[in-house]
Amino acid sequence: MRITGIQTDIVWEDPPANFDALRPRLSRAAEEGARLCVLPEMFATGFSMAADLVAPRAGEIRAFLAEEASRLGLWILGGFAEPGDPRPRNAAALFDPQGRERLLYHKIHPFSLAGENEVFEAGRTLETLDVEGLRVTPLICYDLRFPEPFRRTADRTDLFCVIANWPVVRSAAWRTLLRARAMENQAFVLGVNRVGEGSGLIYRGDSALIDPMGEVIAAAAWQEAEVSGNVRTAEVRACRERFSFLADRRVDLYPEL
């Protein structure tokens, strides 16, 4: 399956402007054969802590994702803030080619250094969906720093999609951890980050598609770009059969350590 991550600049807290910018890019990805397109974390608003302002926009953001998925006949994964109880949540939703929402994930690890944990409620579940034979598990930004959710879902995942607003000052960690998560779980990893400036932070992107051995298939930095490549379930299976690292886990022992 050909997948495409769309590395984009984000107009701050302005969904319609971001929709207008993304429509032609989604169309181009579909024309080039993509079956799954992935957009950054909070792609329509930026990583805003004004939860009372951005969370009510979830309906129109969902409608955009559904309309584009249906119009182009492809799968689209994108992130947004949504209302919740007791607080809004940082979410990622996956829409199928008929425009139906098929998966909803809530960020398990709010970024406490930015105060995200004070305005957004943490998620409690991990979600995986079969996308035309490819098992896809989404995670959001700060989740990347924690190996536990990746390991918990490795056996049921061929492709991890990590959507983010990850600033340039910590870009070395982003690049390193994307490769580490691919290597240690023997799965494809697609990291999709934003570029540009938002709320005083600079973003260089570094979106990348990485194979199960940790090799970078495609990457982009410092400009709007598409990161694309072919992801094959058979390649994940072959890697795990040839190098049976996951089979050597001591899952019976770990709780005692």
Q: Given 37, 141, 161, 239, which residue is catalytic?
A: 141
Distance CA 104, CA 96 (A): 12
Give the 3-state secondary structure of residue 29: helix
Q: Given 41, 68, 116, 226, which residue is catalytic?
A: 41
Q: Is 84 exposed, middle or buried (0-12, 13-18, 19+ CB in 10 A)?
A: middle
Burial 184-200 (b: 16+ CB within 10 A, else e): ebbbbbbbbbbbbebee
41 as an active site residue: the answer is yes
Phi, psi dihedral angles at 196 (to 5 degrees):
95, -155
Q: Given 13, 37, 82, 107, which residue is catalytic?
A: 107
Q: How many CA atoms lie less than 13 Å away from 185 in the CB half-sphere?
A: 27
141 as an active site residue: the answer is yes
Determine contact, residues 30/74, Cβ cutoff 8 Å. Answer: yes
Task: Calculate Rg over the CA atoms of the chain.
Answer: 17
The type of residue at 242 is R
| Greatest extent of the chain over all pairs of C-alpha atoms, in Å | 53
Q: Catalytic amino acids?
A: 41, 107, 141
